[in-house]
Amino acid sequence: MFYHLATTLNSHPSIAAHPTVPTSAFLAQAAENAMTVMRHCAIRLDELGTAGTDPVRQAAVRGFRAGRQYATQANRHLAEAADSALALESTADADRGDPAAGEREDKLGHEVLDSAAVAYNSLIAGMRAVSLAREDFPPLGTPQPAARRPRSTLTVAAAQGLPTDSGRRRR
């Protein structure tokens, strides 16, 4: 999930006046996706309860806690970026000749990009933390093939097919 959020954060629609700055709608959607990941991790933590002594459960709890932490950070920074992008979109119609307005727009653009970059870094750190927690799971045994059930005489007779008359099935 973290990888998907991080890659979609890099391919964004941009504001017309500022081609490198993502739109507020895109950033709001990304913040909502990060909140969904955060909610998923919180639900799974509630289901797991206390870790106890089970090593599998302890590893899962560590992974979901790390996921919730980094998804929360990403959500917060994406919300800040969306807020700044919304302010930038509303000031983009200002007078282009005013140097102070141009400086404010540049400052807002940098705020959006900085917040989005911090959110991206949080998503990558979350992906790494969850991967590290996944490595803590105990190794699984080698898979064994399932036992074959004995075939009855009815099953064998049914598998042989219907009698045919000159290459066609009888009716």
For residue 124, name the pLDDT band (cuts at 50, 70, 90): very high
Residue 51 neighbours by CB under 8 Å, 6+ apart: 57, 58, 61
Q: How far is CA 32 from CA 71, 72, 99, in A?
A: 10, 11, 35
CA–CA separation, 116 and 81 (whole Å): 6
| Residue 158 pLDDT greater than 70, yes or no | no
Residue 114 neighbours by CB under 8 Å, 6+ apart: none
Q: Which pLDDT tens digit goes with each residue over 54-71?
A: 778 888 888 899 999 999
CA–CA separation, 18 and 22 (whole Å): 8
pLDDT score of 77: 95
pLDDT score of 39: 94
- For the chain, the structural domain boundaries read 2-137
pLDDT score of 115: 92
Q: Which amino acid is located at 32 in the chain?
A: E
Cβ 26 vs Cβ 12: under 8 Å: yes
Tokens of 35: 């909140």
The larger pLDDT score, comparing residue 43 to residue 97, is at: 43
CA–CA separation, 154 and 11 (whole Å): 60
CA–CA separation, 29 and 116 (whole Å): 13
| Residue 156 pLDDT greater than 60, yes or no | no
Q: Which of 42-56, 101-115, 145-159 has the highest mean pLDDT?
A: 101-115
Residue 62 neighbours by CB under 8 Å, 6+ apart: 133, 136
